[in-house]
Amino acid sequence: GYRSTDDYYDTFDAFLFYWLEDCDDPIVLPKVGGSGAALFDYARGGPQFGADGLLIGPPLAPVMGGFAGPDTNSGIGDLRVAKSRLGLSYAKRKDGKESIFGDENKVSLDDVLVFCSPYIASLY
């Protein structure tokens, strides 16, 4: 994670988005089910949106969290792999597909684009 706190963050502002091949504008999938656990920040994995909305480099072993003591270095996720299941933490697609990737719930990534607020430092 970007801070590696092995914790999660609550926010109503989190969202996922994707583009269809024939569209210019992105399709936004808002956070659903309240603000809880919108973003996970695990030291042994990449960014994780909700429990299962979008996981990039998901940890290969359970994360114990700060109260259980530091996790071992084993079980580090592969940042070239991503998984998605929509509906629990983030809205499902309008076409009924339950993954941000469409028909596949697990994919290999070729590229990752990171979008960040120019005012990120003032957010903390």
pLDDT of 10 reads 86
Q: Residue 109 is which amino acid? A: L
**For range 11-28, the mean pLDDT:** 90
Instruction: Write out pLDDT tens, residues 61-104.
Output: 766 655 555 555 667 888 899 999 999 999 999 999 999 999 99
The full set of domain ranges for the chain reads: 1-124
pTM of the predicted structure, to 2 decimals: 0.79
pLDDT of 9 reads 80
Q: Quick check: 25 pLDDT over 70?
A: yes
pLDDT of 1 reads 39
pLDDT of 74 reads 65
Q: Torsion angle, CA of 92/55/33/27, rounded to 10 degrees?
A: -40
pLDDT of 67 reads 52
> And the tokens for 20?
């269809």
Nearest of 62, 105, 51 to residue 83 by alpha carbon: 105
Q: Torsion angle, CA of 37/43/49/55, rounded to 10 degrees?
A: -140
